[in-house]
Structure 1
Amino acid sequence: MPSTRPTVADLQSLKGKRQLSKLRVFSLEEAEAAERAGIDIISVPYDLIFDPRFRDAAPTRFAIPGDEQAKMGATTDEILRTAVKLRAASADAMYCSASLQTIRRLRDEHIPVCGHVGLIPAHATWTGGFKAVGKTAESASFVWKQVRDLEAAGAFAAEIEVVPAEMASAISRRTPLIMISMGAGAGCDAQYLFSEDVLGTHRGHYPRHAKRYRDLAAEFDRIQSERVAAFSEYAADIQSGAYPAPQHMVGVDAEELRKFEAFLESQT
């Protein structure tokens, strides 16, 4: 990747040459870590893009805000207005799982769009719930149609989620879209995971495609235990008189104290 922030054209030029890395981050600290680690693409919540400190944390990462509005049922006009604001706030593209009409509207305003095919969580009821899509020739043809529709609507990329690796690879080879795999194998153009899966920060279900590189949940548990212990010791010190000790207090000259007490006596 160049030392400056890559463009859509830069990413497109890498198709078929090397796999890109994509990570969903949730905080400035994670954005900075992604920057320092050399992650190619970061997916970010809207509020992170709008934080004026964001580009100080991740000045050269290609940033794609998530899909908060579409999940809340926003209209095409509302999504477009938000996309324009996100672009002004330094977003490099817009993730959108809304209608093809909405994607076309965004593309007409020259806003790069990353779509979604395969298992789309917000639309999972249409494909049978939270399970793989494309395990048969018929259902893989449905995914292929989704890709072609995104091409026609003007998207530049698409997440392809929980599709068999062989099917996803066959699709990726036949489309100009940058295909971003989330559980769809190594035959696409990029690999995508959430930071909470990579860092092991949650205690819920980890999807099949997730890989934990750290167990920060255990570290957070250790820190919480230390926090409780410190608070308990503090409360106990107050009860025993160990806190505050002389070194925690401001002293006063004995003569000045005598004068002040004499003054108080004169006031009663």
Structure 2
Amino acid sequence: MMAKRLTVRDLLDQRGKHQFAMLRVETLEEAEAAEKAGVELLSIPPAMIMDRRFRDAAPTAFAFPGDNFYEIGDTADFLKWAFPLYKHGADGFYCSGSLTTIRAMADHALPVCGHVGLIPSKRTWTGGFKAVGKTLETAQRVWNQVKALEEAGAFAAEIEVVPHAITQAIAERTSLFLISMGAGAGGHAQYLFTDDVLGQNPGHIPRHAKVYADFAGEYARLQEKRVTAMRAFADDVHDGTYPAP
């Protein structure tokens, strides 16, 4: 018997009782692998939720489509963006937009996940790609962001690159479901990118990430095999070996 798809109520009821796993996936193959591996929460490109094959690949995953606020627009744009996705089975929505936008989405019963701490699309305000919350002032800023999201009607928040002790203290004082990306075990879910987990990211790997495979090396070996096979074909053509009689 297939496990049922998680709901917002399930996530909130399981806070502190079960640590959820979450991945950002970019392909249907990754989504299917995550489902089979027992990863409960998926961040996905918005277009994926519109693909009928997604629910065949990941029938029980709690799916968060999301994009940067500047790719979507203002509050009205966010609502127009979210409604079709919700109709096609989105379970929640990542939103790095304004509190006004989050409030409007929540007013329409759309489950919204905000973002606090290091917000890559807004990193200029916190000094770039670095931890947020290491001083009293910045820790209070994270806490105030969480309280503002609560008041706006969000049900969850991604808390990114915040010291563990701060995340833990906030988790004990908030009603939000906290999704930790490099913010320690105090969160209610642990979130990484599939590119990092599979080792298919040839560039910088964040300090909080953990690599479990070497897909980049496998891809390099496959590319070598492509070149070898194609060179053999070209040589056969050039010397008349292919096509054979």
Q: Structure 1-normalised TM-score?
A: 0.89
In the alignment, which residue of structure 1 is the partner of 2:36? 36
> Structure 1 stretch 96-105 or stretch 121-130: which is displaced more?
121-130
Superposition deviation, residue 128 in structure 1: 1.6
What amino acid does structure 2 have at the position aligned with 1:227? R
Q: Matched residues in 1 for 2:92 and 2:178: separation?
A: 15
Q: Residue 204 of structure 2 aligns to a residue in which SS?
A: coil
Q: Matched residues in 2 for 1:55 and 1:153: separation?
A: 30
Alignment of 1:164-203 (within 5 A): 164-203=163-202
Q: Matched residues in 1 for 2:205 and 2:43: separation?
A: 19
In the alignment, which residue of structure 2 is the partner of 1:265? none
> Structure 1 stretch 96-105 or stretch 50-59: which is displaced more?
50-59
Q: How many residues align?
A: 244
In the alignment, which residue of structure 2 is the partner of 1:19? 19
Superposition deviation, residue 66 in structure 1: 1.5
Q: Residue 200 of structure 1 aligns to a residue in which SS?
A: coil
Q: Structure 2-normalised TM-score?
A: 0.97
Q: Is the 8 A contact 2:35 2:58 kept in 1?
A: yes
Q: Residue 132 of structure 1 aligns to a residue in which SS?
A: coil
Q: Matched residues in 1 for 2:18 and 2:52: separation?
A: 32
Q: Matched residues in 2 for 1:73 and 1:38: separation?
A: 31
Identity of aligned residues (%): 57
In the alignment, which residue of structure 1 is the partner of 2:222? 223
Q: Residue 191 of structure 2 aligns to a residue in which SS?
A: strand
Q: Residue 147 of structure 1 aligns to a residue in which SS?
A: helix
Q: Residue 225 of structure 2 aligns to a residue in which SS?
A: helix
Alignment of 1:68-217 (within 5 A): 68=68, 70-72=69-71, 74-217=73-216
Superposition deviation, residue 173 in structure 1: 1.2
Superposition deviation, residue 10 in structure 1: 0.7
Q: Residue 72 of structure 1 aligns to a residue in which SS?
A: helix
Q: Any idea what the Cα deviations from partners look like across 1:50-78, whole Å, max 9, x if unmatched?
A: 2221111111100001124x132601101
Q: Matched residues in 1 for 2:137 and 2:74: separation?
A: 31
> Structure 1 stretch 124-133 or stretch 144-153: which is displaced more?
124-133
Q: Is the 8 A contact 2:198 2:213 kept in 1?
A: yes
C-alpha spacing 1:73/1:6, structure 2 compared with 1 (3 Å)? closer
Give unmatched runs, 5+ long, in structure 2. none
In the alignment, which residue of structure 1 is the partner of 2:58? 58
RMSD (Å), alpha carbons: 1.1
Superposition deviation, residue 125 in structure 1: 1.1
- Structure 1 stretches of 4+ moved >4 Å: none
> Structure 1 stretch 51-60 or stretch 159-168: which is displaced more?
51-60
Q: Matched residues in 1 for 2:62 and 2:70: separation?
A: 23
Q: Matched residues in 2 for 1:88 and 1:3: separation?
A: 22
Alignment of 1:235-250 (within 5 A): 235-246=234-245
Q: Is the 8 A contact 2:72 2:78 kept in 1?
A: no
Q: Matched residues in 1 for 2:232 and 2:70: separation?
A: 46
In the alignment, which residue of structure 1 is the partner of 2:49? 49
In the alignment, which residue of structure 2 is the partner of 1:253? none
Give unmatched runs, 5+ long, in structure 1. 247-268
What amino acid does structure 2 have at the position aligned with 1:92? D
What amino acid does structure 1 have at the position aligned with 2:10? D
> Structure 1 stretch 152-161 or stretch 119-128: which is displaced more?
119-128
